[in-house]
Amino acid sequence: MSRLQDKVAIITGGANGIGLQAARTFAKEGAHVVIADFDAETGAARERELAGEGLSCRFIQVDVADKDSVQAMAEKVVEAFGKIDILINNAGITRDAMLAKMTTEQFQQVIDVNLTGVFHCTQGVLPSMLEAGSGKIVSTSSVTGIYGNIGQTNYAAAKAGIIGMTKTWAKELASKGINVNAVVPGFTETQMVENVPDKVIERMKAQVPMRRLGKPEDIANAYLFLASDEAAYVNGHVLHVDGGIMM
């Protein structure tokens, strides 16, 4: 049997990058995948793409920074599938600037999506998981949230906050049958690094003992493990998938 057979999995930010790879990986493992993304055009195209591959996938537009939008998305999932087994809090944005020049708007936009959005989505799926007495919640932090990164005050704050929320929720929800964990990706080959100059990419690779950037499937496979029954006794864990960047 497939590792996620007939599980219902919501993947936020699932229309591109790591989220899209996770959607494909989960669906291939038997899950009914909901791509929850702000980009309606791309999200609809991804639904058609995965369905064309014979995979169970549905796109639902959502603004994770908006509580009402998240609540409506969760209700649509329950209406369509009857339950929510897995939430992958993957959606994220960047608005980089040095501290002296970062605007309040740039700071708040990243907090709203990357941190408050995780709060909204986790609250949104909770009633279904509590009713079932089971569930897997996986949130995406970053090495930036652990070690900091120049020009990313907002991103670092949000990603560090995710770790604190993960450990808190793991303590609150474990007795309810819900596992809560986080994944910490390192530098990964996604759209976020497509426009980074080659010399900067080479410097990034030089910091990694494995001498390469991560691939979206590296992160998706970590999501898969934590979302599967194989991780039944893993709770409150922060799993680094970063090539050993800061050992």
pLDDT at 144: 94
Question: pLDDT by residue (tens digit) across 44-103?
Answer: 999 999 999 999 999 999 999 999 999 999 999 999 999 999 999 999 999 999 999 999
pLDDT at 201: 85
The string of DSSP codes covering 208-230 is STTSS-B-HHHHHHHHHHHHSGG
**pLDDT score of 133:** 98
The two structure tokens encoding residue 239: 């799993």
Non-local CB neighbours of 228 within 8 Å, separated by 6+ positions: 3, 4, 29, 136
Active site residue 223: no
* SS3 call for 168: helix
C-alpha span between 219 and 21 (Å, rounded): 9
Domains and CATH numbers, the chain: 8-238 (3.40.50.720)
Closest among 182, 178, 179 to 161, alpha carbons compared: 182
pLDDT digits (tens, 9 = 90+) for 98-139: 999 999 999 999 999 999 999 999 999 999 999 999 999 999
Instruction: Decide if 119 contacts 173 (C-beta within 8 A).
Output: no
| pLDDT tens-digit series, residues 174-226 | 999 999 999 999 988 887 677 778 888 888 888 888 888 889 999 999 999 99
Catalytic residue among 147, 155, 223, 233: 155
pLDDT of residue 222: 98
